[in-house]
Structure 1
Amino acid sequence: MIFGITENTKKYKWDYLYNFELELFLASDSVKNLIQYQEDKLNEITEKLTKKNGNELNELNNPNVILDERLNTTLYIYHRYSSLVGVFSLLESYLKTICEELIKQRKTKKKIKNFYSKKEGYLQNYWDFLNAVYKLKDDKLLENFKSIKKKKTLRNIIVHNNGIAKKNQISNIQNMEFIKIIEEKNQVIICENNFLFNLINEINLFFRILLTEINEVEN
């Protein structure tokens, strides 16, 4: 079966891979559009606040101006926090789906739960399961997975500590593009939504390579 939406048209022996790829890339494109839509709405709010305050923006002692500026900053911070958590939910959901399908189609007798570690979490769980089933060899796939997993540190900081990084987490995120750490309290800021878009692109690439690897085994 031929699927021509991705850059390299592929032929899949297992029809499920065709349907999986189509659904995944439609979903990831929808998430991108939603993030951009929300970002555009925040930009509209920012513009309205600026116009409302007018000349008062230069009066730093005006409490209303200060409140509006803080509100505006907070909206961007938590919009991007929420979006990042959503992106990782998408990733883990689709990894879980393909793992469960392998069991359903009796392509393996392995059990997903046997690869779970509370310390490593579900992302590593699904990766280890797939790697055990297919013995994944592509170096670029491994490199891509490591890059995505490193960014999951940021997701964990947001979910478990409201965006405040612990000392042992800072080294994993301090050199990431579009990421800023406010030193006073180690709060992590996603400076631009390009961070989210780049992550989605990484995830798409990860699945392209993964499905190609699976397809080679199926053939």
Structure 2
Amino acid sequence: MTQFLVLVLLLLCAGLLVAAYRGHKSKEEEEKREGDGSDMRNLSTPSIADAKHGDAVTVIGASEDFDDLHFTVDRVSTYRRGEERWGEISGVAKNRRIFVEWHDDDEITLLLRRADDLKLADLGIGDENLARFDEEESRDNHIVYDGDRYDYSFSGEVLYSRDGAEEEGFYAWDFEGQGAMVVWVEKWAGEPFVVGVSERILPHNVTILRK
């Protein structure tokens, strides 16, 4: 009987020692996670409209080889046309600058810039065509880029501010295709036309993390 009681006491002591050891290790691991920033509880996920400098952005499958794009926000821009407002975040990924434009109407619409080095000749038009499009404001007008038709959707002056600086204006034309692509033209005072292409992307393919 005495031997049995001794055995029980030994087993209880062993159990207490194991529990104490595990508790100590768990505390050490938690402190380590907090120290190296890997504890996801310290991260928040703001919306793109609330993104700011230093936020970490991932755009799933958005690179040319369908890898994810990762960048840290280093530019936050706003646009305004009358009562309409929208924004843009930017950072560098894979040695090139990434721009993600957002519009918040009834739902969030995101546009990922794909190119901004085109010429009006790539669209088969000149500045006289843009002047006519602007005067007529007709959705029957269109351009052709890379074999696809893009219908006129908007032209007008837009006010722009980068990182809270004073607003400056430029003139813009937008053309929408049947798919996800949008062709746009900008004219800044004293500068040549800027012509580019952006792609609509799904909001759930963009994640933003903030410490």
Please identify the structure whose Cα radius of gyration is greater.
Answer: 2
Give the alignment's TM-score, normalised by structure 1: 0.22
Structure 1 or 2: more helix by fraction: 1
User: Which protein, 1 or 2, shows the higher relative CO under an 8 Å CA cutoff with sep ≥ 6?
Assistant: 1
Give the alignment's TM-score, normalised by structure 2: 0.22
Structure 1 or 2: more strand by fraction: 2
